[in-house]
Chain A
Amino acid sequence: MPNTTAIALVPLLPLAGFLLLGLFGKKYFRGSSGIIGVILLLASTLLALYIAYGYFFEYGKVDGVYQKLIPIQYTWLSFSKDVSINMGIILDPISVMMIVVVSFVSLMVHIYSLAYMKGEERFPVYYSFLSLFTFSMLGLVLSSNIFQTYIFWEGVGVSSFLLIGYYYDRPSAVAACKKAFIVTRFADLGFLIGILILSFYSGTLDFNTLIERLTHPGSNELKTAVASSFLGVSALTWGVALVFIGGAGKSAMFPLHIWLPDAMEGPTPVSALIHAATMVVAGVYLVARLFPVFALSAPEALHLVAYVGIISAALAAIIACTQTDIKRVLAYSTMSQIGYMMFALGVSGYGGENGLGYTASMFHLFTHAMFKALLFLGAGAVIHYVHGNEMKDMGGLRKFLPITHITFLIACLAIAGIPPFAGFFSKEEILLAAYQNNMVIYWIALTVSGLTAFYMFRLYFSIFWNKTYDSRLMTHGSHQGEGGFAMMLPLVLLAIGATGAGFIPFGKFVSSDGSTLESKFHLSFSILPVALGLIGIFTAMWLYKKQNDRPNKIAVSLSGLYKTAYRKFYIDELYLFITKKVVFNLVARPAAWFDKNIVDGLINLTGNTTQAVSENIKKIQSGKVQQYAIYFLVAIIGLAVLFIYWWK
């Protein structure tokens, strides 16, 4: 059986780091906070790897099926004999995979930040926030209880808010962190209602029990949940769809994606950790966690997942082709890849061969964490060197940043799905799952994979080739090379991950029902996506490798479409219109008027009346003893008369 201390320490070590650095960092660990964070997280990562090894190779598998183990569980809030909120740790293939991914990427980011954030005024604060995030994320993936998930879910939301707003003296960062928090919080409302619906019908908050009760055919809970309906859709479908809305908000799915590009205002390592590799996949993880309920009991909600996923993937890929800020391109590519994971879950079935989409989704989550963190950290190295985010300020950097160049290229090849890099394998599986289930989604996904290759290599060629970079053009003169060992080590390690992760036989470890899924590899099937990827790459090369005016000409000839995509399909404007014009004018203003005049008026009326009355009668209390004696006498006589003549 698993070692409970080791498992508990995985999330608790970052928590210790948060408390230590958050409380005492400024005073005692000004210089050493980074090292402390790294050491604690290194320990956490090693423990996670140890647990993963133990789970996958020693005790996790019983009769060929990976079990859902709950090594730690205690009652936290008990409402009645049957209903209680427990705190526990669940070990199953996806949670074990996630703790490895989260702790590893977080470790990389911690190491990278040693160099990247060096000399920052609030260095210890930065590390304490990173530790808080890591703690919340590890807690989120290990939660055995849906309410516990929700607590940690808000925890990652808060730490994301804090880290996006790390440069709090920049108005844009402040606006971005507020936007991210409000949008995800809005989506979390859906999640909360979803939790309430699901737990109301299943009578439990525990994941295992909840899934069992809501998927077991013929169970009373399932019957009532399906029988009661609202607007023609069963309560169960509403519940899981609302949970998915929460997930969609966190995972930046259309139409709740607007916060993600703005979240790039945070420090680049933070973007790599939170807004690329870990937190944004929490939505995917949530759907995967409740996957049996989606697949077996609420297929309509699963269709919703699939279509939201594919729309987000396509929309983000188109927008990414036109953006000029390198972090924004990466943000949209993140959204697009998460869209892939979502629709892979959406087209998947439960159990055996049907569960290919599920495995593919988790596989893509795993490989994506590697290469997307690598892309962001590489972009961070570039930004560190150039002191700017705009692509037009860059070019020809391959001579100055050789290691960054090679690792970035590997990541681009991986995301473009070129064999033998990691993205190829996971993307093939996703496409195969789509091909087997839904041709419309398959064709869109195929097109998007071509687009992905194009925009990633547009980025690559614009940064590292194109015109020659002239450092004298930049105002900040002093360059310190690639940023030293601390920045290069994570890049190299992640590049190894992005190259090799694809060869892991993922179906053996992670599948929808825990049994082994043999991934079949069809060479003929892979030709089309790879060819499209190569076409994307060569188009990007033709347009961006040398400085020329072809990109501008194309942009001009497609002016309408280009402008629409450049302005992100006017979704931000639409939101602004809805909030500012519609909500503010039609709802907020009348509500404010009502509050100011009617509600406040009533309160003021009572207050004023009391005041006026007391103002008028206060003279009675004159301070003259004999006057009081007269009142007393009169009252006594009055009472005597009352008792004698009226009180019979």
Chain B
Amino acid sequence: MEPGLYHILFISAALFFIGVYGFFTRRNLITMLMSIELILNSVNLNFIAFNKYLWPNKMDGLFFTIFIIAIAAAEAAVAIAIIINLYRSHRSIDVENAEELKY
């Protein structure tokens, strides 16, 4: 059976909610960052799938995906810099320990 649009959308949705679940339940910042990557990749899958099945002769979805991958790389660099700084000041990368910024 040839995989159709719905299969890919299903995988993408699963990937998205796995990412959301990971983001909410994990306390380790690195793991949370990884969850965000999952969410981003599910979006990328969506773009690619729609591009391939609905407008096969256009390239917009593809470009968008490449763009998102580039952004995600930059975002990971920034996030890791933040995490390193957090570790230097708190000796931990647990979000539970970094909640001074409140009311």
Interface residues of A (CB under 8 A from B): 618-619, 621-626, 629-630, 633
A626 in contact with B24 (CB, 8 Å): yes
Q: Give 1 or 0 for each of B17-39: 1 = CB within 8 Å of chain A CB.
A: 00010011000000000000000
B23 in contact with A622 (CB, 8 Å): no
Task: Apart from A622-B99, A623-B100, list 13 A-B contacts with CB within 8 A.
Answer: A618-B103, A621-B102, A621-B103, A623-B99, A623-B101, A623-B103, A624-B95, A624-B96, A625-B95, A625-B98, A625-B99, A629-B24, A630-B24
Interface residues of B (CB under 8 A from A): 20, 23-24, 95-96, 98-103
Contacts of A630 in B (CB 8 A): 24
Contacts of B102 in A (CB 8 A): 621-623
List 25 A–B pairs whose Cβ atoms lie within 8 Å, in order of A's numbering.
Answer: A618-B103, A619-B103, A621-B102, A621-B103, A622-B99, A622-B102, A622-B103, A623-B99, A623-B100, A623-B101, A623-B102, A623-B103, A624-B95, A624-B96, A624-B99, A625-B95, A625-B98, A625-B99, A626-B23, A626-B24, A626-B95, A629-B23, A629-B24, A630-B24, A633-B20
Contacts of B96 in A (CB 8 A): 624
A377 to B91, CA, bound (A): 88
Among residues of B, the one whose C-beta sits closest to the C-beta of A622 is B102
Min Cβ gap B52→A in Å is: 25
Among residues of A, the one whose C-beta sits closest to the C-beta of B24 is A626
A622 to B99, CA, bound (A): 7
Among residues of B, the one whose C-beta sits closest to the C-beta of A633 is B20
A633 to B16, CA, bound (A): 12
Among residues of A, the one whose C-beta sits closest to the C-beta of B102 is A623
Contacts of A626 in B (CB 8 A): 23-24, 95
A624 to B98, CA, bound (A): 8
Q: Which 6 A-B pairs have the closest CB atoms?
A: A623-B102, A623-B99, A618-B103, A621-B103, A625-B95, A623-B101
Contacts of B98 in A (CB 8 A): 625
Contacts of A619 in B (CB 8 A): 103
Min Cβ gap A220→B in Å is: 70
Min Cβ gap A175→B in Å is: 54
A468 to B24, CA, bound (A): 108
Interface of A is mostly: helix
A622 to B98, CA, bound (A): 11
Min Cβ gap B97→A in Å is: 11
Among residues of A, the one whose C-beta sits closest to the C-beta of B25 is A626
A571 to B6, CA, bound (A): 101
A64 to B90, CA, bound (A): 99
A297 to B74, CA, bound (A): 87
Among residues of B, the one whose C-beta sits closest to the C-beta of A630 is B24
A624 to B99, CA, bound (A): 5
Contacts of B24 in A (CB 8 A): 626, 629-630
Among A618, A621, A625, A633, the one with the most B-chain Cβ atoms within 10 Å of its Cβ is A625
A626 to B36, CA, bound (A): 12
A623 to B98, CA, bound (A): 8
Contacts of A629 in B (CB 8 A): 23-24
Among residues of A, the one whose C-beta sits closest to the C-beta of B100 is A623
Contacts of B23 in A (CB 8 A): 626, 629
Among residues of A, the one whose C-beta sits closest to the C-beta of B95 is A625
Min Cβ gap A633→B in Å is: 7
A629 to B36, CA, bound (A): 12
Min Cβ gap B64→A in Å is: 20
Min Cβ gap A249→B in Å is: 59
Min Cβ gap B44→A in Å is: 19
A622 to B101, CA, bound (A): 8
Contacts of B99 in A (CB 8 A): 622-625
Among residues of A, the one whose C-beta sits closest to the C-beta of B103 is A618
Among A621, A623, A630, the one with the most B-chain Cβ atoms within 10 Å of its Cβ is A623
A629 to B102, CA, bound (A): 15
Min Cβ gap B76→A in Å is: 17
A471 to B99, CA, bound (A): 88
A345 to B99, CA, bound (A): 85
Min Cβ gap B40→A in Å is: 15
Among B20, B95, B100, B103, the one with the most A-chain Cβ atoms within 10 Å of its Cβ is B103
A625 to B28, CA, bound (A): 12
Among A618, A621, A624, the one with the most B-chain Cβ atoms within 10 Å of its Cβ is A624
A624 to B96, CA, bound (A): 7
A14 to B99, CA, bound (A): 69
Contacts of B100 in A (CB 8 A): 623
Min Cβ gap A474→B in Å is: 76
A624 to B27, CA, bound (A): 10
Contacts of B103 in A (CB 8 A): 618-619, 621-623
Min Cβ gap A27→B in Å is: 54
A323 to B101, CA, bound (A): 78
Min Cβ gap B27→A in Å is: 8
Min Cβ gap A637→B in Å is: 11
A526 to B20, CA, bound (A): 114
A619 to B99, CA, bound (A): 13
A630 to B98, CA, bound (A): 17
A629 to B20, CA, bound (A): 9
Among residues of B, the one whose C-beta sits closest to the C-beta of A618 is B103
Among residues of B, the one whose C-beta sits closest to the C-beta of A626 is B24
A619 to B24, CA, bound (A): 19
A633 to B20, CA, bound (A): 9
A619 to B23, CA, bound (A): 22
Among residues of B, the one whose C-beta sits closest to the C-beta of A624 is B99
Among residues of B, the one whose C-beta sits closest to the C-beta of A625 is B95
Contacts of B95 in A (CB 8 A): 624-626
A194 to B41, CA, bound (A): 81
Min Cβ gap B78→A in Å is: 15
A633 to B96, CA, bound (A): 20
Min Cβ gap A623→B in Å is: 3
Min Cβ gap B82→A in Å is: 11
A623 to B100, CA, bound (A): 6
Among residues of B, the one whose C-beta sits closest to the C-beta of A619 is B103
Contacts of A621 in B (CB 8 A): 102-103
Min Cβ gap A635→B in Å is: 14
A625 to B33, CA, bound (A): 13
A630 to B23, CA, bound (A): 10
Min Cβ gap A625→B in Å is: 5
Contacts of B101 in A (CB 8 A): 623
Among residues of A, the one whose C-beta sits closest to the C-beta of B20 is A633
Among residues of B, the one whose C-beta sits closest to the C-beta of A614 is B103
A621 to B23, CA, bound (A): 19
Min Cβ gap B30→A in Å is: 14
A630 to B20, CA, bound (A): 10
